[in-house]
Amino acid sequence: MPAPSPDNAGRPAADSVFAASGDIATEVTRIADGDARDLDALRKLDPDQIDGARPKKRLGLFFWFAAGFFILVVVLAITAPWLPIKNPAKIVGRPRIAPNSQFWFGTDALGRDIFCRVIWGARASLAVGFLSILFGGVVGTAVGVAAGYLRGKTETVLMVAMDVLLSFPALLLALAIVNFTDSKTILTVSIALGLVAVAPTARLVRANALIYGQKDFVLAARLLGANHVRILRREILPNIVPPLLSFSIIAIAVAMVAEGGLSFLGLSIDAASTATWGNMIVSGKPALENGAPWISLIPSAVLFLTVLALNFSGDRIREYTDVKEG
Amino acid sequence: MSDASPHAQNSPLLEVKNLSTSFRTEHGVVHAVDDVSFVLDRGKTLGVVGESGSGKTVLARSIMGLLPKRNVIREGHVLYEGEDVISYNEKQMSKVWGAEMAMVFQDPMTSLNPVMKIGKQITESLRHHLGVDKDEANATATALLRQVGIPEPERRLSEYPHQLSGGMRQRVTIAIALACGPKVLFADEPTTALDVTVQAQILDLLDDLQRDRHMAMILVSHDLGVVASRTDEIMVMYGGKVVEQASTSELFGNVRMPYTEALLRSIPRIEDPSHTRLEAIPGRPPNLLSPPTGCNFAPRCRYVQERCLVEEPPLESENGHAWRCWYPVGTDSKREALARNLAPGVPIGIPAPGSMSSVGDR
Amino acid sequence: MAGSGTAHLRDASAAILRAENLVVEFPLGSTGLKVHAVSDVSLDLLPGETLGLVGESGSGKSTTARALMQMPTPNSGSVFLEQKNLTELSGSDLRELRPQMQMIFQDPISSLNPRRKVTDIVAEPLKIWKRGTTVEQYELVDRVLESVGIDPEGARSRRPSEFSGGQCQRICIARSLMLEPKLLICDEPVSALDVSVQAQILNLLQDLKEQHGLTMLFIAHDLAVVKNVSDRVAVMYLGKLCEVGDPDALYSTPAHPYTKTLLDSIPHPDPDAPKGDFAGLSGEIPSPVAPPSGCRFRTRCPNAQELCEQVEPVMTAVGEDHYVACHFPLLGTPVTL
């Protein structure tokens, strides 16, 4: 039986599981890692003075490209109704016209303009992406914070629920919900996909709430007389938001792709009423071999680029806002 | 190493000559260890004393070749039994590690693999280096554990590190370090993470083992108390440089470097009456990215003169006692320097010893 | 069962803090076993006094500190802050008293929220208690930061990671002083700091104590540090107090064998220091899950007798303001310091 030290009772043991080995050879790699930390320590020697010499953190050119592209997509999606573009549902020409100066992205199998459908499709796709992660994020954060900060029975119950939720195959779960509600609107699809995001978000938030809840600054705040709400708002959430944000950005991208997946199964937003990138890609499937690959490929490419831009800029923002602890 | 064996008898066990180690960082080059030299004979102990960032840990790892290759510049010579091992590659060094030089780390919890049984951790390096079979390795491991004072060693072999107390874990890491019979043992703050009574036990153990095996030891510590009674020679490091180097009795009996003196004065002493005002050292260790011109310690030194802020003092040596100061302690020039600084209307912004705490360590 | 006694406690009406028979136990997982972290500890602090609480890891000294702060509330025993029993107060009444007792911790970096600006961290206590206008709050922050040796100008836009450990500890001290507490509990405040910075912080605490008329509980494992700051010292071992007394008396003539062992274990920064008859402490600190019967130190004590196994020793006076819980106290055997 290990002798638990009363001084540390109630605190989790240091998580040094990946730290080391007794073998000399592995010891060396450990030291190599350790010295990365030594370098950090050296850097920390005098942050005051280093500050002057430290090059300002930069986001970099690629970030602005990526962010610019993403913002463009968002702006176009929002302003679509006022843009001088054609009606996405209207047949404007012959079917399957290759991209040209009149139809920049060509026309689809029914003769609708793909360019304007991509812009209108962005509305639905982005809406599903944001709404689902907003839903998943809010519910997941609430669950995660409750479990990780309050601990005790609340934690046990909530985390078992999350484990159950996680053990369903994600798409199957979304599928069941869409099927069950039998309505294929942006809202139901978002809730379905958002539900899938609840469990991973909750786990991430709980893990962070656990870590930060144990920090001395939280204890200090309690000893100062701060109530739980204030501690959560001032001390814990600000430390959870950054990892949550970078997770959410990736989750939005995943949700947008998942919407495409649901479209493939015919379980996403009705193609007849609303264009989404997902159902556009699906509708182009038969034409892939019929000499009109752009019907599918163009929305695919836009989806791909948007997701890539989102992931990349999300990563950079996370690095940029990272605060060194200690 | 076979070529070197003829003179191995004449040459000292370990000789470090002008060893410098720098790190390339995104903010510039950091000279973590700057021009360090010493000789270590069999059976002797060298104490390396310094605060965090003084370069003491980097020095130990640099000698052992344990630093990553990337962004690390090592210059100088590390002569082990007359053979310069600084140019050795990792494969060559792996023959040296364990069998010739070994290291005990500060934190036994992180230097042991938490998911591997203690027996396995000891026998692995035995089998790797000495190529002995499993039974023999187990027998040796048991003997080693007994040697380092672990009760019921047979049972411990099949336990995990978390089942042991901190002191026992450190004994295990010592056993691992000793497994292949090294001739030099590097002990990097081996007792810093331990309680004072356990610290005494571990230091005694290291003493005994060193005597039995006629091993040389480099004891790295921030605690002058720890090195005072356990070493033959001491190197005091500050900002990557050796600032004082002498035999232990000479160093404590005849301090020359103001930094060493200040350090000795700033630590609370058990024999002083309660509430004795401490002579704190103002400021904090230098930033190695942009070290001060002149003497590294000058901005914090109570004896500081114009010259110290401009010109870097060399490592001066007299009868085996070396120091890096223009106005060494115990000389007339030093007394004059202090008198000048304490005189009213001193131009240099040096706080009087009594008012130091309020100055802060900015 | 005999307790550790309260002979060392002084006039209850004079004490600013008085803890009687504190017990803190943690359940050990779902085994039904308990960790006896603090067992029947009593201590008191007179106004303006610094009590040094010294012990090794596992002695329960930090747990004692937290129990005093009701974080968590001790399993039994009482804590009086100026004669108000904290253990019986409701959550909101206890909260009202929080500003009067503050705490600083061992790891100054983990004690500061990495995402907040230093001035905001230090202003937080005032914001929690809505004291003064924002302008007044930040004026006070500046003054207090200055008094602990931090340039308020530089602290305004910086986060804790841009300060060194010693500076972070100064910031923590500043925060703890914002509400003008009567009692400051320092839990190993210098053990994470560099040797050359330690003395700065110790001197600073000493100065602030005088300026603010603070009463301090100073917890540390370093006996020399504790002696330096304390008016009275209490030695803890495995959840119990061993010895309490005036530092000079306690260090020069320790009455408890454990205190003597501790003192003998300290390495002296002097190669010629006499080693004494120190034989070292045998064995390991027993598990607090199943502490030894009778005297908890008996399993490692060189003088242990049958009595020590059967009867727990009670605090008794062995000199003026010198109390020990030992059946066979060492008397007149001064340690070689």
Percentage of chain A surpassing pLDDT 90?
A: 31
How many CB atoms within 10 Å of residue A62? 12
B284/A30 CB distance under 8 A: no
Query: Would you place residue C278 in the very low, low, confident or very high pLDDT band (cuts 50, 70, 90)?
Result: low
Query: What per-residue confidence (pLDDT) applies to C234?
Result: 97
In this prediction, residue C311 carries a pLDDT of 92
Task: Return the pLDDT at B28.
Answer: 81
A7: chain C residues, CB-CB within 8 Å? 37, 57-63
pLDDT on residue C309: 93
Q: What is the mean pLDDT of residues C93-115?
A: 93
Residues C54, C227: contact at Cβ < 8 Å? no
**C183: closest CA among C80, C61, C101?**
C101
* CA–CA separation, C116 and C96 (whole Å): 25
Is C158 touching B (CB cutoff 8 A)?
no
**Going by C-beta distance under 8 Å and a sequence separation of 6 or more, which residues neighbour residue B102?**
A24, B177, B178, B180, B182, B184, B185, B186
Cβ contacts (< 8 Å) between A235 and chain C: which residues?
A: 113
- pLDDT value at residue A40: 39
The predicted pLDDT at position A22 comes to 29
Taking the C-alpha atoms of residue C285 and residue B198, their distance in angstroms, rounded to an integer, is 10
Both tokens of C216, joined, read: 């301090």
Look at residue B358 in the predicted model and tell me its pLDDT. 33
3-state secondary structure chain C: CCCCCCCCCCCCCCCCEEEEEEEEEEECCCCCCEEEEEEEEEEEECCCCEEEEECCCCCCHHHHHHHHCCCCCCCEEEEEECCEEHHHCCHHHHHHHHHHEEEECCCCCCCCCCCCCHHHHHHHHHHHCCCCCHHHHHHHHHHHHHHCCCCHHHHCCCCHHHCCHHHHHHHHHHHHHCCCCCEEEEECCCCCCCHHHHHHHHHHHHHHHHHHCCEEEEEECCHHHHHHHCCEEEEEECCEEEEEECHHHHHHCCCCHHHHHHHHHCCCCCCCCCCCCCCCCCCCCCCCCCCCCCCCCHHHCCCCCHHHHHCCCCCEEEECCEEECCCCCCCCCCCCC
Share of chain B above pLDDT 90, in %: 42
Of B284, B98, B255, B70, the residue nearest B175 (C-alpha): B98
pLDDT reported for residue A56: 53
Q: What is the mean pLDDT of residues C69-81?
A: 93
Q: Percent of chain A having pLDDT more than 70? A: 81
* Residues near B142 by beta carbon (within 8 Å), at least 6 away in sequence: B153, B154, B157
What is residue C217's predicted lDDT score, i.e. its pLDDT? 97
Tell me how many degrees the CA angle C140-C144-C145 measures, rounded to the nearest 5. 115
Q: Tell me: the pLDDT tens digits for C31-65?
A: 788 999 999 999 999 999 999 999 988 899 999 99
* Per-residue confidence (pLDDT) for residue C276, from 0 to 100: 52
Residue C204 clears pLDDT 90, i.e. is over it: yes
Mean local confidence (pLDDT), B297-302: 90
Q: Which has the higher per-residue pLDDT, B131 or B34? A: B34
Tokens in use for B73?
């510049």
In degrees, rounded to 5, the angle at the alpha carbon of residue C8 between the alpha carbons of residues C3 and C9 is 95
pLDDT at residue C60, as a whole number: 92
Average of per-residue pLDDT across B264-268: 90
> Residue A149: pLDDT above 50?
yes
CA angle A254, A258, A263 (to 5 degrees): 155
Residues A219-267 have pLDDT tens digits of 999 999 999 999 999 999 999 998 898 889 888 988 888 888 888 777 7
Residue of A nearest to C95 (CA): A225
Compute the nearest-CA separation of C112 from chain B (Å).
18
Helix orientation angle between A61-79 and A114-145, rounded to the nearest 10 degrees: 110
Listed in sequence order, the residues at least 6 apart from A152 whose beta carbon sits closer than 8 Å to its beta carbon are: none
State which H helix or E strand residue B318 sits in: strand B316-318
* pLDDT higher than 50, residue A289: yes
DSSP line for A124-147: HHHHHHHHHHHHHHHHHHHHHHII
d(CA C292, CA C295) in angstroms, rounded, equals: 7
Q: Is the pLDDT of residue A48 over 80?
A: no
Residue C312 token pair? 């727990």
Rounded distance between C-alpha atoms, residue A109 and residue C310, angstroms: 95
**Among A283-297, B224-238, B240-254, C147-161, where is mean pLDDT lowest?**
A283-297
Instruction: Give residue A138's pLDDT.
Output: 95
Give pLDDT, residue C202. Answer: 95
What pLDDT score does B356 carry? Answer: 34
Determine the distance from the C-alpha atom of residue A146 to the mean position of all C-alpha atoms in its chain, rounded to a whole number: 21
Specify the range with the lowest mean pLDDT, choosing from A155-169, B136-150, B274-288, C261-275: C261-275
Average pLDDT (B216-228) is 92
Residues C176-189 pLDDT 10s: 999 999 999 999 99
Please state the rounded mean pLDDT for residues C290-308.
91
pLDDT at residue C214 greater than cutoff 90:
yes
Instruction: Average the pLDDT over each of A268-282, B93-107, B284-298, C210-224 and give the range with the smallest value.
Output: A268-282
Q: Answer yes or no: are the C-beta atoms of A70 and A77 closer than 8 Å.
A: no
Mutant choice from B226, B244, B247, B278 vs C, greatest count of C C-beta within 10 A = B278
pLDDT at A57 (0 to 100): 64
The SS3 assignment for B92 reads helix
For residues A183-215, one letter each, b for 16 or more C-beta atoms within 10 angstroms of the residue's C-beta and e for the rest, the string is ebbbebbbbbbbbbbbbbbbbbbbebbbebbeb
Q: Look at residues B288, B244, B247 and name the one whose alpha carbon lies nearest to residue B264.
A: B244
**Sorting pLDDT into bands at 50, 70 and 90, what band is B3?**
very low
Give the distance from residue B311's alpha carbon to the nearest chain C alpha carbon, in angstroms.
Answer: 24
**Strands B216-221 and B184-188, bridge-based pairing:** parallel
* Cβ within 8 Å, pair C203-B280: yes
Q: What residues have CB less than 8 Å from C269, skipping those under 6 apart?
A: B224, B225, B228, B252, B264, B267, B269
Query: H-helix or E-strand containing A230?
Result: helix A228-230
Q: Is the pLDDT confidence value at C284 over 90?
A: no
pLDDT number for residue B44: 94
Subunits with 3+ Cβ pairs within 8 Å of B are: A, C
d(CA C230, CA C218): 8
B109: which chain A residues are within 8 Å (Cβ-Cβ)? Answer: 14, 16, 19
Token pair of C1 as six digits: 């069962």
Distance CA C337, CA C254 (A): 12
The per-residue pLDDT for range B275-289, each reduced to its tens digit, is: 999 988 888 788 888
- pLDDT of amino acid A27: 30
Confidence of residue A39 (pLDDT cuts 50, 70, 90): very low
Helix or strand or coil: residue B190? coil
Task: Report CB contact under 8 Å: C284, A221.
Answer: no
Q: Which two tokens stand for residue C151?
A: 């340039």
The DSSP string of A95-128 is TTPPP-SSSTT-B-TTSBBHHHHHHHHHHHHHHH
pLDDT at C229: 95
Mean pLDDT of the region A10-17 = 30
Strand, helix or coil at A173?
helix
Tell me: pLDDT of A109 over 90: no
pLDDT surpassing 70 at residue A4: no
Over residues B239-247, the mean pLDDT reads 94
Chains A, C: CB contacts within 8 A come to 127
Residue A51's pLDDT band, with cuts at 50, 70 and 90, is very low
Q: What is the pLDDT of residue C333?
A: 53
Instruction: Let me know if C306 is exposed, middle or buried by CB neighbors in 10 A (0-12, 13-18, 19+).
Output: exposed
Residue type, position A280, single letter = M
Q: Is the peptide bond before C72 cis (omega within 30 degrees of 0)?
A: yes
pLDDT at position B252 over 80: yes
What is the ipTM score, two decimals? 0.87
d(CA B269, CA C197): 16
Question: Would you state the pLDDT for residue B29?
Answer: 86
CA distance B156 to A29: 26
pLDDT, position A12: 31
Residue A143 neighbours by CB under 8 Å, 6+ apart: A158, A161, A162, A198, A202, A205, A206
The tens digit of pLDDT for each residue in B308-359 reads: 999 999 999 999 999 999 989 887 777 777 777 776 554 444 443 333 333 3
pLDDT level of residue A21 (50, 70, 90 thresholds) = very low
Distance CA A206, CA B162 (A): 26
Whether the per-residue pLDDT at A44 is higher than 80: the answer is no
Judge: B51–C194 Cβ closer than 8 Å, yes or no.
yes
**pLDDT at position B127 over 90:** no
**For strand C50-54 and strand C232-237, is the pairing parallel, antiparallel, or unpaired?**
parallel
In chain C, residues with a C-beta closer than 8 Å to the C-beta of B263 are 195-196
Chains that touch A (3 or more CB pairs under 8 A): B, C
Tell me the three state secondary structure of residue B220: strand
Domains of chain C by start residue, with CATH: 17-255 (3.40.50.300)
Query: How high is the pLDDT of residue B220?
Result: 94
Q: What pLDDT, on a 0 to 100 scale, did the predictor assign at position A30?
A: 32
Residues of B in contact with C195 (CB under 8 A): 51, 222-224, 263, 266-267
Mean pLDDT of A25-32: 31
Contacts of B144 in chain A (CB under 8 A): none
Choose the closest CB to C163 out of A5, A47, A226.
A47
